[in-house]
C-alpha cells in the first residue's frame, strides 16, 4: 500500500440509521504518524480497568494479585504518583525520537519512552480508588497499609483537584480543567466516603463528603453548557469529548438525567464517524498535535454502555456486534479502527479495548453488569 498516493472511499455506517453517506479521506491524513507513542509501558488507568474487568468476571485470584501490584506501584509519596510505569516498574521514562527509523508504514517519528510520565492526570486517582473499592465489595480484604496509602492519596487529591491537568487523553497542549478529570476526582472522594460508610474503615468521612459535594457542584456549574444542552470537554469549552460517556458509568449522574441524555446526543451528532466514536475533535488545538486519527474503539463501547443504561438495547446490541465483529482471526482488537481503510490501527492488541469489550458484554448479558455496579456501589 502506498501511503502517499492512495485515497480510499467507504460508506458511512450509523448505529441509529444504517448507511447514510459516503466519505473520502487520504490515508496519510488519517494515520497521523506524529501520534506515535511508546506503549511498552503500564498505565495505572489501564491497570485499574483491567482489575475491574477481572473482578466483574469472577477472577478473584488474578484480581488479588493485580491489587497487590497496584498498591506497590502507587506506594510512596502521593505527590510522586505517576500515571504510568515501565514494564519492570521504571519511573524514569524520558521520551526521545529515533529519527533513523522509518516507523510502521513510514509513520514517523519513532519514539522511545513517554513524556506523559510527567503529566498530571487527576482521573487516575478516581480509577485507583474505584478499583480498590470494588475489590472490597467482592471480598478482597483491605490491608492496613493499603488503606493508609489510600488515605494519603485522598489527602493529596484534596489539595490538587482544583488544578488543571492533561486529562485522560494525555494532551500535549496546555493544561485545562477537563470535565472528566473533575468527575473522576469526585469518584475518588465518593469511594473513600463509602469505604467508611460501608466497610467501617477509619477516615475523615465528613470532610470527604464536603469535598465530594464541592466537586459535584463545580462540574454541574462549570462543565455543563446550557446552550449546548450537554457537558463539555473542559470548563468553558463548546465541544464534547467521548470521556463524558463515563459520567453515568461511574455514578456521577443517572443515565436518564436530561444532562446526560443531551451529552450522549451531542456526542452522536459530533463525534460519530462511520459508526465509530472519536475521542474528541482533533481539528481543534486541544492536544497540541496535527489533526487526524482513527476511531478509538473503547469510546465506542462506552456509547453502547450508555445505550444499555438508557434502555436502548437494540442499539446497544447492534453497536456491540458491529465492534466485536472487527476482531481479527484470533479475536484480537487494536486501539483504533480506520473505518475508511477498514483496518485495525494503533497499538495492537490493546487491553483498554478488550476490557471495554468485556464490560459491555457483561452490561448486555449479566443481571447487574459493571455499569450498574459502578453507579450503585
At 9, the pLDDT band (50, 70, 90 cuts) reads: very low
Per-residue pLDDT averaged across 226-245, rounded?
95
pLDDT tens for residues 298-315?
Answer: 999 999 999 999 999 999
- Same domain for 192 and 298: no
Q: Are 280 and 242 in contact (CB under 8 A)?
A: yes
> Most confidently modeled of 7-21, 59-73, 97-111, 185-199?
185-199
In terms of domains, do 47 and 155 share one?
Answer: yes
Residue 242 in contact with residue 277, Cβ under 8 Å?
yes
pLDDT at 343 over 70: yes
Is 186 exposed, middle or buried, given 0-12, 13-18 or 19+ CB atoms closer than 10 A?
buried
Which of the listed residues 206, 222, 238 is the one where a domain comes to its end? 222
pLDDT tens, position by position, 182-225: 999 999 999 999 999 999 999 999 999 999 999 999 999 999 99
pLDDT of residue 14 exceeding 70, the answer is no
Cα 334 to Cα 5, 34, 309, 355, distances in angstroms: 25, 18, 26, 12
Considering the domain architecture, whether residues 187 and 41 belong to the same structural domain is answered as: yes
Report the domain count for the chain: 2
- Lowest mean pLDDT across 9-18, 285-294, 298-307: 9-18
What CATH number is attached to the domain comprising 288?
A: 1.50.10.10
Do 56 and 26 fall into the same domain? no
- Give the number of other CB atoms < 10 A from CB of residue 29: 12
- Do residue 202 and residue 111 come from a single domain? yes
Q: What pLDDT, on the 0 to 100 scale, is given for residue 369? A: 61
Q: What is the pLDDT of residue 85?
A: 81
**How far is residue 125's CA from residue 272's CA, in Å, rounded to a whole number?**
29
- Is residue 246 located within the same domain as residue 116? no
Of 162, 190, 222, the last residue of a domain is: 222
User: In the predicted model, what is the mean pLDDT of residues 279-298?
Assistant: 72
Q: Are residues 108 and 199 in the same domain?
A: yes
Q: Per-residue pLDDT for 47 more than 50?
A: yes
Average pLDDT over residues 4-11: 24
* Statement to judge: residues 218 and 337 lie in one domain: no
The band of 243, judged by pLDDT with boundaries at 50, 70 and 90, is: very high
Owner of C-alpha cell 494519603: 152
Mean predicted confidence (pLDDT) in 31-41:
67
In the 3-class helix/strand/coil scheme, how is the chain assigned residue by residue? CCCCCCEEEEEEEECCCEEEEEEEEEHHHHHCCCCCCCCCEEEHHHHHHHHHHHHHCCCHHHHHHHHHHHHHHHCCCHHHCCCEEECCCCCCCCCEECCCCCCHHHCCCCEECCHHHHCCCCHHHHHHHHHHHHHHHCCCCCCHHHHHHHHHHHHHHHHHCCCCECCCCCCCCCCECEHHHHHHHHHHHHHHHHHHHHHCCCCCHHHHHHHHHHHHHHHHHHCEECCCCEECCECCCCCCCHHHHHHHHCCCCCCCCHHHHHHHHHHHHHCEECCEECCCCCCCCCCCCCCCCCEEHHHHHHHHHHHHHCCCHHHHHHHHHHHHCCCCCCCCCCCEEECCCCEEECCCCCHHHHHHHHHHHHHHHCCCCHHHHHHHC
pLDDT classification of 33: cutoffs 50, 70, 90: low
Task: Quote the domain boundaries for residue 152.
Answer: 35-222
The last residue of a domain, from among 202, 222, 242: 222
- Pair (129, 78) in one structural domain: yes
Same domain, 209 and 233: no
Confidence (pLDDT) at 19: 24
Shared domain check, 206 and 116: yes
Do 49 and 197 lie in a common domain? Answer: yes
Amino acid at each position: 500500500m502506498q501511503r502517499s498516493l492512495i485515497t480510499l472511499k467507504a460508506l458511512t455506517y450509523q448505529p441509529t440509521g444504517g448507511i447514510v453517506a459516503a466519505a473520502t479521506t487520504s490515508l496519510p491524513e488519517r494515520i497521523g504518524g506524529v501520534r506515535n507513542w511508546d506503549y511498552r509501558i503500564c498505565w495505572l488507568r489501564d491497570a485499574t480497568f483491567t482489575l475491574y474487568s477481572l473482578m466483574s468476571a469472577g477472577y478473584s485470584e488474578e484480581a488479588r494479585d493485580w491489587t497487590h501490584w497496584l498498591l506497590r506501584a502507587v506506594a510512596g509519596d502521593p505527590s510522586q504518583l505517576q500515571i504510568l510505569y515501565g514494564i519492570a516498574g521504571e519511573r524514569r521514562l524520558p521520551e526521545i525520537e529515533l529519527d533513523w527509523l522509518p516507523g510502521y508504514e513510514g509513520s514517523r517519528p519513532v519514539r522511545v519512552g513517554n513524556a506523559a510520565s510527567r503529566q498530571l492526570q487527576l482521573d487516575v486517582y478516581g480509577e485507583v480508588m474505584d478499583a480498590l473499592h470494588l475489590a472490597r465489595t467482592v471480598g478482597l480484604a483491605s490491608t492496613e497499609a493499603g488503606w493508609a496509602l489510600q488515605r494519603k492519596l485522598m489527602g493529596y487529591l484534596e489539595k490538587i483537584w482544583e488544578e488543571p491537568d492533561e486529562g485522560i487523553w494525555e494532551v500535549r497542549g496546555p493544561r485545562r480543567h477537563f470535565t472528566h478529570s473533575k468527575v473522576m476526582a469526585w469518584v475518588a472522594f465518593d469511594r473513600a466516603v463509602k469505604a467508611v460508610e460501608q466497610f467501617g474503615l477509619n477516615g475523615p468521612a465528613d470532610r470527604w463528603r464536603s469535598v465530594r459535594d464541592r466537586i459535584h457542584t463545580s462540574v454541574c456549574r462549570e462543565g455543563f453548557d446550557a446552550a449546548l444542552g450537554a457537558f463539555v470537554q473542559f470548563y468553558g469549552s463548546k465541544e464534547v469529548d467521548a470521556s463524558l460517556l463515563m459520567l453515568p458509568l461511574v455514578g456521577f449522574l443517572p443515565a436518564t438525567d436530561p444532562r446526560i441524555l443531551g451529552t450522549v446526543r451531542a456526542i452522536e451528532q459530533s463525534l460519530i464517524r462511520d459508526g465509530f466514536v472519536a475521542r474528541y475533535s482533533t481539528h481543534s488545538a486541544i492536544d497540541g498535535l496535527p489533526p487526524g486519527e482513527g476511531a478509538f474503539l473503547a469510546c465506542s463501547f462506552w456509547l453502547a454502555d450508555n445505550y444499555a443504561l438508557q434502555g436502548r438495547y437494540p442499539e446497544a446490541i447492534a453497536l456491540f456486534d458491529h465492534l466485536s465483529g472487527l476482531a481479527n482471526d484470533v479475536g484480537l482488537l487494536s486501539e483504533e479502527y480506520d473505518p475508511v481503510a477498514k483496518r485495525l490501527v494503533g497499538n495492537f492488541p490493546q487491553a483498554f479495548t478488550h476490557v471495554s469489550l468485556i464490560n459491555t458484554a457483561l452490561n448486555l448479558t449479566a443481571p447487574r453488569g459493571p455499569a450498574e455496579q459502578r453507579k450503585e456501589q
